[in-house]
Amino acid sequence: MATYKFMIDGKLMDSEQSFEVRNPATGEVIGSAAVSTPADVERAVQSAKAAQKSWAAKSDEDRKKILLDVAQVLNDNAAYLAEWITKEQGKPLAGPGSLFEMQACVGWTQVPASLDLPVEVVFEDDTRRDELHRKPLGVVGAISPWNWPLMIAIWQIAPSLRAGNTVVLKPSEYTTIGTLEMVRLMNTVLPAGVLNVVSGDGSIGALLIENKDVNKIMFTGSTKTGRKIIDASKGNMARLTLECGGNDPAIVLPGTDAAKIAGDLFWGAFINMGQTCACAKRLYVHENDYEAVIGALDAVAAQMPMGNGLSEGIVLGPVQNKMQFDIVKGLVDDAKANGARIVRGGEPLGGDGYFYPITLVADIDNGTRLVDEEQFGPVLPIIKYKTIEEAIEKANDSESGLGASVWGTDLNEAARVAKQIVSGTVWINQHGAIHPMVPFGGAKDSGYGVEFGVEGLKAVTQPQIISIKK
């Protein structure tokens, strides 16, 4: 069984220790990943620091061209990397799965390469001229998660490199090999030291976060870990972009045609088996439409084959790891014990993989664990409401505020409701529809800072004012 290596200063690095990586659909070992040491983390940061000055000195056009070369490498190797995503993470190759993730990697590399941050004249009169320049921050420490392992790594890497920073990436220990392979391939066109990767458990990520020469930290993951990062970064005053957990509400307005929205609503909740921060995780439906919406969702769910994502025709895979599988099972069991109605699913499928069926839970309300806690899995609680004011109040009754959605034919009413929801994004008649040109970030405990587009590019720069006396 091959052991995959991390990369520092453009060179593959081995280690005395390694850990096994398993396929969550089968339980089989698919490879091993080398474990970085504290000394390796330090070497990676120093490599990035040494490379940063010359990388930042390149012209915008040079960095754009190199990023487009990276995008071409990702495109050329999409099938190979997508297979690793499926074997490690579990999402199928087909549908909104691993090949879709690789297409996103290409696009989210190309878009930052197209963006500019020109000098802004923020004030000028007869006596002075004040210009705002955007400067790279230095070394970016990136901590990527297991749910969209390659795509979210690219969200962190591409804008950082475009702005003239260098990067040290630490992928999740659950989905390491595909990320190591992606970084290896990207380094075939990047200058040595510009993009480094270390591997291991959370202790390796902690060393990266605490390093005195890391100037910016980008993290996607749980709110609990986000709080630890805030505390750990106090020693280096690193700037932070934190995209933390979500418990996104979706509100179906009264009188909405259930059959018309059911397909989009299903994927808004269950893309990647619900293992997405900005999935719809709580569904609020008016009492007059409640059973119709449940029935329409159930009909869609019945058509979705689940299994090993390497098999043809599969569109739903396993939960990625046992820890998350147990969380999902525990929340459903608690809902059942408290009188909720299981419309579909509700019990593990058994076998070697972490398969939990699409589960629709009705006759449940705020105040129960499944509604109040982020399930991050293939389960959707459906809550009945009497008035739209009640729905808005319940939607906002959460410490999370990443995304939300409103569904209905009256777009003015949908917009009125959307403006009253406290979240970083509110989608109308769609959910989780992110775009590389549209800023994305959370409110409340879902983190702070934004990614994507011009605002996301600004977030990996330091503003500098040049003030000129005339």
What residues are labeled active site?
Answer: 243, 277
The H-assigned helical ranges of 339-442 are: 369-372, 388-395, 411-418
d(CA 187, CA 179): 12
DSSP string computed for 416-467? HHHTTS-SSEEEES-SS---TTS-B--EETTEES-BSHHHHHHTTEEEEEEE
DSSP string computed for 18-85? EEEEE-TTT--EEEEEEPPPHHHHHHHHHHHHHHHHHHHHS-HHHHHHHHHHHHHHHHHTHHHHHHHH
Structure tokens at 189: 């066109």
d(CA 444, CA 150): 26
The helix (H) or strand (E) run that includes residue 15 is none
d(CA 180, CA 104): 18
Task: Name the β-bridge partners of 134.
Answer: 463
| Contacts with 75 (C-beta within 8 Å, 6 or more apart), sequence order | 106
The helix (H) or strand (E) run that includes residue 378 is none
d(CA 50, CA 52): 6
User: For the chain, percent helix, then strand, then coil, each to nearest 5?
Assistant: 40, 25, 35
d(CA 96, CA 315): 8
